[in-house]
C-alpha cells in the first residue's frame, strides 16, 4: 500500500530561532506491515547504500529480529535474522549502517528467560544476500551490560557502535551508567570502553545516542549524561583514531539527540531546546566548540500555551543540505473537556541552508495520534528513507486500530 502525504507548510516564528521558509518535502509511505498493538513489532533502523536501495531492521511479533531489503525502490518481505544463533527466546536489531559493497546490522538477544543477560550479534548484507547472524562475545569487565544505540561503518570490518555501559543492577534505585563505545577494526571487535571521566560525575543515565564518522579515525558522538551534578548534553570526539572522554559540549538548555557530519569540520546536531512553554525541535551547525545559533524546525503546535517537539534523527549530505525527523505535539481533539495526548511523526528538509517547516506522517484530524520515525538514512541529496510506526488512540488512550509500520521515501 502506498499513501501520498501532502501537508501545506506555514511560517513559524519563535523568539531566538531562525525561520524555515521552503516548501515541505514530498513523503511517500510504503506499509511494511501492521501490528495489533503498539510496540509489538516494527522497523527500528534503516540504512541505505544508494537511492532506493536500503535495509531495515527491527523485530517481529514472535520476538525475533528481522531484516528487510529495498531494491530499486521496492521493499521485500521481512525475514528472520536469527539464523545461526541457535535456540533463543528474544532478539532485536537496534541499528544498521551501509558502506560501499554492503551493510551491517547490530543487535542483541536473550538465550533464555532463565538467563536474562543480553548477548550481542551482527548480521551482514552483501551481493544481494543476508549472511548468517554472528554472535559477539563481549568482555564487559566490571560492567553488567552494554546497550547499543547507533552504528557507523566506513568500510566492511571497520565500524563503531556507541551506547552505554550499565554498572549497577538493572533494578537499582540509583542506576549507574557510563557513555561507551565498541569498535571493530579489520573485522575484529574489541571490548566496550567507557568514555566517562572519573572526575566528571557522569554516572546516572549517561549514554551516547548517535555517532557520525566523516573520515576514518575521525568521529563525533553525542548523548546525554550527568556532568558534575547537572544533566547535560555530552560530546565525545575521535581524532586520529583516539577518543576523548565525554564532556559537556553544548549550551545547558540544549538536549542533543542526533548528529551528522558530512565532513570533518561541518557537523549538524539536532534535538530539543527547553522553553518557558515546553520544548522546541532544533538543529545547529558547526563543529566541536563552535556551534551556530539554533534553528527551530518542524511543526509547532500550541495546546493551552504549551508546546513540545524534538528532532530525534538527522542525516546530512553537506553542511547546508540535511533531512531531520522527529516528533511533535499535534492538534488534539477534546473528549469530555479533556485534551488527548498526540505525538505526531514528522520530517523536514534543508536545501542550501533553507529549512522547511515539515510534513506530518500518519496524522488523522479526528483522533489522538501517536507516531515516530525510528530510523533515517539519506544516501544522496534529495533521496532519503525513513522507517517507523503510527497509530491513533481513543479517549481511553487505547489504539483505535492496528499500528502501521511504514517506510517513508523523502524527496525534494
Residue 300: inside a domain: yes
pLDDT in tens, 367-387: 677 889 999 999 998 899 999
- In our burial notation (b when 16+ CB lie closer than 10 A, e otherwise), range 373-404 reads bbbbbbbeebbbbbbbbbbbbeeeeebeeebb
| 215 occurs within a structural domain | no
238 is a domain residue: no
Which residues of the chain have a pLDDT value below 50? 1-21, 202
Average pLDDT of the chain is 85
- 10 Å Cβ neighbour count for 323? 29
Q: At 395, which helix (H) or strand (E)?
A: none
For residue 31, CA distances in Å to 54, 259, 311 come to 15, 28, 23
Look at residue 248 and tell me if it is in a domain. Answer: no
Residues in CB range of 391: below 8 A, 6 or more apart: 38, 362, 369, 370, 371, 399, 400, 401, 402, 403, 404
Helix (H) or strand (E) segment spanning residue 103: strand 102-110
Question: Residue 40: what pLDDT?
Answer: 73
Measure the N-to-C terminal CA separation of the chain; round to a whole number of Å. Answer: 22
Q: Which domain holds residue 26?
A: 1-35+254-412
In-domain check, residue 307: yes
pLDDT of residue 288: 81
Q: Contact at 8 Å (CB) between 91 and 85? A: yes
- Report pLDDT for 229: 72
| 8 Å CB contact between 412 and 28 | no
Place of cell 513540545: 308
Cβ atoms of 96 and 57 within 8 Å: the answer is: yes
Q: How far apart are CA 210 and CA 208, in angstroms?
A: 6
Cβ distance 63 to 90 under 8 Å? yes
Residue 136 domain-assigned (yes or no): no
In a domain, 51, yes or no: no
Helices (H), 122-273: none
Cβ contact 246:227 at 8 Å: no
Residue 143 within any structural domain of the chain: no
Q: How many domains does the chain have?
A: 1
Amino acid at each position: 500500500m502506498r499513501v501520498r502525504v501532502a501537508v501545506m507548510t506555514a511560517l513559524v516564528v519563535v523568539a531566538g530561532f531562525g525561520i524555515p521558509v521552503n516548501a515541505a518535502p514530498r513523503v511517500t509511505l510504503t506499509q511494511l506491515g501492521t501490528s495489533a498493538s503498539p510496540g509489538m513489532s516494527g522497523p527500528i533502523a534503516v540504512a541505505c547504500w544508494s537511492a532506493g536501495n536500503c535495509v531495515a531492521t527491527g523485530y517481529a511479533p514472535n520476538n525475533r529480529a528481522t531484516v528487510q531489503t529495498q531494491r530499486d525502490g521496492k521493499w521485500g518481505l521481512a525475514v528472520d535474522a536469527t539464523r545461526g544463533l541457535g535456540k533463543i527466546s528474544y532478539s532485536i536489531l537496534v541499528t544498521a549502517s551501509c558502506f560501499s559493497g554492503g551493510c551491517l546490522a547490530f543487535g542483541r538477544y536473550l538465550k533464555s528467560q532463565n538467563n536474562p543477560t543480553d548477548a550481542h550479534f551482527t548480521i551482514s548484507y552483501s551481493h544481494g544476500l543476508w549472511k548468517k547472524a554472528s554472535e559477539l562475545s563481549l568482555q564487559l569487565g566490571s560492567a553488567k551490560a552494554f546497550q547499543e544505540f547507533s552504528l557507523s561503518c566506513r568500510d566492511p570490518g571497520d565500524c563503531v557502535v556507541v551506547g552505554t555501559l550499565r554498572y549497577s543492577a538493572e533494578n537499582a534505585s540509583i542506576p549507574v551508567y557510563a557513555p561507551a563505545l565498541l569498535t571493530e577494526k579489520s573485522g575484529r571487535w574489541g571490548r566496550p570502553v567507557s568514555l566517562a571521566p572519573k572526575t566528571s560525575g557522569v554516572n546516572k543515565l549517561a549514554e551516547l545516542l548517535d555517532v557520525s564518522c566523516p573520515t576514518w579515525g575521525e568521529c563525533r558522538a553525542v548523548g546525554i549524561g550527568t556532568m558534575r551534578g547537572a544533566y547535560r548534553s555530552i560530546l565525545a570526539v575521535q581524532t586520529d583514531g583516539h577518543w576523548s572522554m565525554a564532556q559537556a559540549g553544548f549550551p545547558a538548555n540544549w538536549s542533543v539527540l542526533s548528529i551528522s557530519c558530512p565532513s570533518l569540520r561541518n557537523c549538524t546536531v539536532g534535538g530539543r531546546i527547553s522553553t518557558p512553554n515546553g520544548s522546541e525541535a532544533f538543529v545547529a551547525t558547526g563543529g566541536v566548540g563552535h556551534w551556530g545559533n539554533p534553528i527551530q524546525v518542524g511543526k509547532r503546535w500550541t495546546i493551552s500555551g504549551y508546546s513540545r517537539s524534538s528532532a530525534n534523527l538527522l542525516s546530512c549530505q553537506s553542511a547546508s543540505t540535511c533531512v531531520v525527523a522527529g516528533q511533535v505535539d499535534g492538534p488534539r481533539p477534546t473528549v469530555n473537556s479533556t485534551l488527548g495526548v498526540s505525538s505526531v511523526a514528522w520530517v523536514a528538509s534543508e536545501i542550501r541552508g533553507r529549512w522547511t517547516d515539515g510534513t506530518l506522517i500518519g496524522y488523522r484530524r479526528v483522533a489522538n495520534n501517536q507516531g515516530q520515525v525510528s530510523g533515517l538514512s539519506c544516501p544522496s541529496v534529495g533521496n532519503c528513507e525513513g522507517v517507523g510506526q503510527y497509530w491513533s488512540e481513543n479517549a481511553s488512550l487505547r489504539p483505535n486500530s492496528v499500528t502501521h509500520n511504514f517506510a517513508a521515501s523523502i524527496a525534494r
